[in-house]
Every structure is written in structure tokens, then in C-alpha cells.
Amino acid sequence: MRPYRLDLILAVLALVISTGTQVMIPAQIQRMIDDGIIAQDSGVIWQASLFMIGLALVGMIATYGNAYFAVKVSEYTIADMREDGYRKIQSFSFANLDELNTGELLVRMTSDLNQIKTAIMMTIRMLLNAPLMLIGAVVAVVITSPRLSLLLLVTIPTTAAFVYWFGRKTQPLYALVQGRLDRVNTVMQENIAGSRVVKAFVRADYENKRFGQASTDYANENINVAMITAIMFPTMMTIINFATAAVLWFGGSIAITNPALVSTGEIVAFLNLLMLTVFPVLMLGMGLPMIYSAIASGERLYEVIDTDPAIVDRPDAFEVAPNSVDGRVAFDNVSFDFDGEVEEDAVLRNITFRAMPGETVAILGATGSGKSSLINLIARLYEVTEGEIRLDSKNIQSYTQASLRQQIGFALQEAILFSGTIRENIAYGRPDATEEEIINAAKAAQAWDFIQDKEGGLDATVEQRGKNFSGGQKQRLAIARALCVRPKILILDDSTSAVDVETETKIQAALAELMQHSTVFVVAQRISTVLTADKILVLDHGNLVAEGKHAELLESSPIYKEIFDSQLGGGVTSPVAAQEVSHG
């Protein structure tokens, strides 16, 4: 809240004025009763009434000012926190995103932030008011009736002890509630994203039960909190009622036997002040659940904000201008595993090869052989565990991440499109691309024909996740997006799996012309995609088991020959060969 400290100071100042007016009113009530009604002096009644009306108006204006500044501080503070969280998520590497799933991040960036916002606003409006009112009311009580003020020695400690017990009971429960909400959102997000799979395998009943269980667990946890919270208000009211009865009995007895010691107006004023001493503790009791909930939410949010990105730039990393490298890529004894340890079952082990500008390097292997992991390492989406990757003879860690990735065009198997227009999606990596460059990229990706058929052409609407395009169209738009950045390194990770063979052949021909001075990496399911590659890398269980051109590998690599025979050779020599070469 530091950037908004002036608004915070004004909110507190308004709160002090509002509290002061409330504490001053009981004294006017006492004056009206003792010096006005009992003394039958209408002038005093009028004066006290007008003064009370003035106090009420000032209090109303101050309360409005406090509310205005409290809302302003809370909204702007949460907006900053939301942006901090979003920026941190953008800085995460794939390893960070593997640990924090989408459902959890959504809850922390929405529900948890709302909990914190409510707590900030209510703290400035109510909880800061509590100590101010308590102090003011206690002072006023002592001044008004020193004898009756002794009752506060019992009332306030009893109320405070109950509030403390209540807080200790509820605090840990709010973390459990938010955890249950995490689970609800995770299951919902998975189900919505995988709805086609659910329908295809007729698993709606199972998913309904899974979501129902998560929802029930969340509801039960809320009930546990609500049951304890429900004790709060009736207990506090009971304490207030006991205190009121004690004041009337004790004060009334003195007023009957010795009216000079305690007056009727004094008793009425004391009752009002008693409410003003107990009410702040009651406010604290009602506000503490929000505070505890916000604490739990804050811890969860700052778990995201305080998480260090798994990959950071070196202090001496330098920036390189877009498209200013040659595109020579070298792997030297590169090993990788997600846990950072190189064991026998590591994802990649001791990978060594060279890729030169103008070359197309194809990567083949069964599912889980490490193909996608290998190409992710080139862009430092994951960090190598051992060994070194070089771009133009320099370790890729020597470059800043942003400038390294500006040299690379990515087209993945799952073609993610953003809501907007076709033009915005193709130019996503290079917003300053000219119309001609966008069209050329679309033509090379064999997307221009269907773009022209769309109403609006390049300005045609792309709906959420590109649902108004077929799988093949989305993949071609993703390839166009990768080409539009004019990359020195192009990575196609099974990016033509939904495209027919004829269209794929046209894309390959266009790429051969357009990317003749760039380095192209291709991960493919169909071996026909890579037959003309300058170099084919065959991976098996994380090892580079063969390297060469198609004709060479047919003679020297049994694994490559099995893959070829299973798809194009007309024969299947083993169950392994029958396995479809896929994204892995």
C-alpha cells in the first residue's frame, strides 16, 4: 500500500473524525436527560439535539470519506499485486509451470486476491476503527462514571479472551478452504480442457463423481468454518446483554439509594458507551476471520510471487539483435532430466550433434524418447542438466533469454491461437510486420487460401483458442506465426500432424525456399515428413542412437529401418516398429 500512503492517511484521518463523533454523542444524551428532561429545560434539549445532529452529519461525511479512500487503496493495491503475480507467471520457465498447475494459478490470481482485497478494505474501514473507538470510549466511560467503569474490568477481558480463542480456531481452517477450492478449480479446468476426450470415452459419469467429490469436500470445509463462525455473534451478544443487565442493576441500585452519586442520564450514557467499548471487540471478532483468510490467501499468492524462475539470465548475459546470428547450433554431451539429476532413466543423456545454417534436422523416436525435450532446450525453455548447447560458438546461456528466443520461430503440435484477428495471430511474435510479410508467411504455411475465404480475410475474427478453425488450419496459422518472425532457427514440433500429405509437401517446399539460410528442426510423426532432411537424429530412451541421412540410416540403423518399414516399407518387423512415431 506504500504508493497509496496519502490516500491511506486520509482514510485513517476520516476514521478518527468519525470515531470521535460517535464517542461524543453519549455525553450529549446524558446532558439532555439530566440537564434538559429531568430539569425541564427545553433550551438544553434543543442545544443538545442540534449538537448531536451536527456530530451525526460530520460523522456521516467522515465515514463516506473513509469508505472512499479505503476502496481506492484496496482496489489499487490489489491491481498492483495482480500485475506483480501476472508478470511473475510470465517469467516462469516450463519447470515452474510444471509445479504450479493452471487451476491453482487461477485461484490464486482471482479468489485469493479477492480475499486480500476484502481484508484490506475492511481493515481500513472497521478494524482500524476498533482500537480508536475502544480507547475513546474507555476514556469517555471513566470521565462519565468512574464507579460504573469498574464493570469494564470484567467485560473487555472476557470479550477479548473469546475473540482470541475464536481466532486460534479459525485461522488454520481458511488455508484448508482455499486448498479445497484449488482442487475444485483444477478438476474443472482439466475437465473443460479435456471435454472432447471425456465424451469420446463416455466418462461423463466418472468426471461428474470426481468433480462432485471435490465440490463436496470444499463445501464441507466451508461448513466447518461456518459452524465455528456462527458461535461468534450470539456469544458476543450474550456478553453485551449480561454487561447491560449488570450496569442497570449496579447503577440502578446506586441511583435509587444515592441519586447524587449516579444519575439517570449517567446510566443511559454509560450504556451507550458500554456498547462502544464492546462493539470494537465485536468488530475485531467479526473481522478476524477475514484477516485470517487473507493471511492464508496472501501466503498462497506470495508463494507464486516469491518463486524464483527456474531459468534466469546470467549477470553477464548480453542481448543480440533479432536475426543477427548465423544459426549454427551445437550440442556437446547434453544431458537433461526434470529433477536436475542425471540418472540412468534421465530424459536425455550425452547428446552430441551439430546443425548448420541451411540444414533441416529431423528428430525421430518413439513416444518418451526425448524429442520435445531436446528442442525445448534450444530455446532454454528448460535448462540443461549437464553439457552445453552453443549458438554461433557461444553458450546459449551467454545470451539473454529474450534475445535468444527472438532468433527462434516455434510451431508446436498443439496450435494455440489467441482471440483477436488472423492478422494479430500471425504477427504475434513481430507486431511491426508489414502486410506483405504477413501474407508471405501465410502463403508459405499454405494458409492464405482459407484466409481469403474467411469474411474479412486477415481481419477475420479468431475466437477463443481458435475454435472457429479446424485442427489443420490452426496448425498452418501457427506455422505462419513462426515464419513471420523471420527466424534464424525454426522449430516445428509435430506441427503438421493435422495436415494432409499434399499440403504438408507444399509447406516443405515453401520452407526449403524461405528458410534456405536458416536452421530448421523438425519433429514429426510421419517419416515421410523427414525423408529429405539434411540430417536425421534417431532418439531411443533418451540416447542419440543414430545420425545421418535417410539412405545412410536405412543401412546403418535398425531402429530407423523398423520405423521406415512400419510406415512406408509395407512390413512390420517388430512390435516396437509398429508403434506410431509420435510427439514425445
DSSP string computed for 2-24: GGGHHHHHHHHHHHHHHHHHHHH
- Same domain, yes or no: 82 and 174: yes
Q: Are strands 408-411 and 519-523 parallel, antiparallel or unpaired?
A: unpaired
Residue 436 lies in a domain: no
State the DSSP string of 292-310: HHHHHHHHHHHHHHTPPPS
Calpha distance 213→209 (Å, rounded): 6
Q: What is the CATH number of the domain that holds 334?
A: 3.40.50.300
Last residue of a domain, one of 289, 305, 321: 305
Q: How many domains, the chain?
A: 2
Task: Mark whether 268 and 338 lie in a shared domain.
Answer: no
Least confident of 116-120, 273-277, 448-452, 495-499: 273-277
Q: Do 134 and 11 fall within a single domain?
A: yes
With a cut of 60, say whether residue 346 has pLDDT above it: yes
**Which candidate, 431, 120, 122, places its Cα nearest to that of 284?**
122
Residues 382 and 235 occupy one common structural domain: no
- Nearest CA-CA partner of 264 in 144, 142, 133: 144
Instruction: Report pLDDT digits (tens) over 350-397.
Output: 999 999 999 999 999 888 889 989 999 999 999 999 999 999 989 999
Q: List Cα–Cα distances, 11 to 1, 23, 72, 134, 356, in angstroms.
A: 13, 18, 10, 18, 65
550 Rama sector, left if φ>0, alpha if ψ -120 to 50, beta otherwise: alpha
Alpha helices in 310-414 (DSSP H): 371-378, 401-405
Q: Which helix (H) or strand (E) holds 233?
A: helix 204-257
Instruction: Work out the mean pLDDT of the chain and round it to a whole number.
Output: 84
In a domain, 459, yes or no: no
pLDDT in tens, 58-97: 999 999 999 999 999 999 999 999 999 888 888 887 778 7
Give me the CATH number covering residue 69.
Answer: 1.20.1560.10
CB 7 within 8 A of CB 73: yes
Q: Could you give the angle at which helices 5-31 and 264-305 cross, rounded to 10 degrees?
A: 160
SS3 annotation, 113-140: HHHHHHHHHHHHHHHCHHHHHHHHHHHH
Same domain for 403 and 287, yes or no, is no
pLDDT of residue 10: 95
DSSP code of residue 569: I
Question: Can you give the pLDDT at residue 196?
Answer: 66
Determine the angle formed by the axes of helices 152-193 and 264-305, rounding to 10 degrees.
30
Q: Is residue 399 part of a domain?
A: yes
The C-alpha cell at 154 is: 470484567
Give percent of the chain with pLDDT exceeding 90: 33
Phi-psi region of 494 (alpha: psi -120 to 50; beta: other; left: phi over 0): left
Spatial neighbors of 378 by CB under 8 A, at least 6 apart, are 329, 389, 396, 408, 489, 491, 521
Given a cut of 80, is residue 426 above it in pLDDT? Answer: yes
CA angle 519, 520, 523 (to 5 degrees): 150
Which residues, other chains included, contact 497 with Cβ-Cβ below 8 Å and sequence gap of 6+?
413, 475, 524, 525, 526, 583
Residues 156 and 209 both lie in one domain:
yes
Expressed in angstroms, the distance from the first to the final Cα of the chain is 47
Cα dist from 154 to 136, 267, 277, whole Å = 18, 18, 12
HSE, side-chain direction, 13 A CA sphere, residue 376: 21
Q: Which of 342-346, 432-436, 560-564 has the lowest mean pLDDT?
A: 342-346
Could you give the percent of the chain with pLDDT greater than 70? 95
Single out the residue in 243, 273, 305 at which a domain terminates.
Answer: 305
Same-domain pairing of 375 and 276: no
Top pLDDT among 160 and 49 is at 49
Contact status, residue 447 vs residue 477, Cβ threshold 8 Å: yes
Amino acid at the residue 410: F
CA–CA separation, 521 vs 11, rounded Å? 60
Stretch among 11-20, 146-155, 343-352, 567-576 having the lowest mean pLDDT: 567-576
Region of poorest pLDDT, from 71-75, 122-126, 172-176, 555-559 = 172-176
| pLDDT at 470 > cutoff 70 | yes
Clarify whether residues 71 and 185 are in a common domain: yes
- DSSP strand E in 417-529: where? 420-421, 461-462, 489-493, 519-523
CB atoms closer than 10 angstroms to residue 205: 9
- Please give the pLDDT value at position 537: 94
CA distance 91 to 108: 17
Gap between the Cα atoms of 47 and 31, Å rounded: 10
Among 220, 221, 197, 217, smallest CA distance to 209 is for: 217
Among 178-187, 346-355, 500-509, which is the least confidently predicted range?
Answer: 178-187
Alpha helices in 363-421 (DSSP H): 371-378, 401-405
CA distances in angstroms from 465 to 409, 410, 418, 419, 474, listed in the order given = 20, 17, 6, 7, 9
- Do the Cβ atoms of 355 and 521 come closer than 8 Å? yes
Please give the model's pTM, rounded to 2 decimal places.
0.68
43 falls within a domain: yes
Interhelix angle 264-305/204-257, nearest 10 degrees: 150
pLDDT at residue 569 in the model: 65
Query: What is the mean pLDDT of the segment spanning 485-510?
Result: 86
Provide the domain limits for residue 556. 329-407+487-578
Pick from 442, 450, 495: which is nearest to 469 by CA? 450
What residues have CB less than 8 Å from 374, skipping those under 6 apart?
348, 351, 363, 537, 539
Cα Rg, the chain, nearest whole Å: 36
For residue 453, being part of any structural domain is answered with no
Helix (H) or strand (E) holding 545: strand 543-548
Identify the residue with better confidence: 525 or 544: 544
Residue 578 pLDDT grade (very low, low, confident, very high; cuts 50, 70, 90): very low
61/137 same-domain check: yes
How far apart are alpha carbons 261 and 506 in whole angstroms?
104
Instruction: Check residues 282 and 58 and name the one with the higher pLDDT.
Output: 58
In a domain, 442, yes or no: no
pLDDT average, residue stretch 245-263: 75
In this structure, the answer to whether residues 29 and 176 fall within a common structural domain is yes
Q: Are residues 300 and 343 in the same domain?
A: no
- Residue 415 is assigned to a structural domain of this protein: no
In this structure, the answer to whether residues 221 and 270 fall within a common structural domain is: yes
Residues 6+ apart with CB under 8 A from 42: 36
- 457 falls within a domain: no
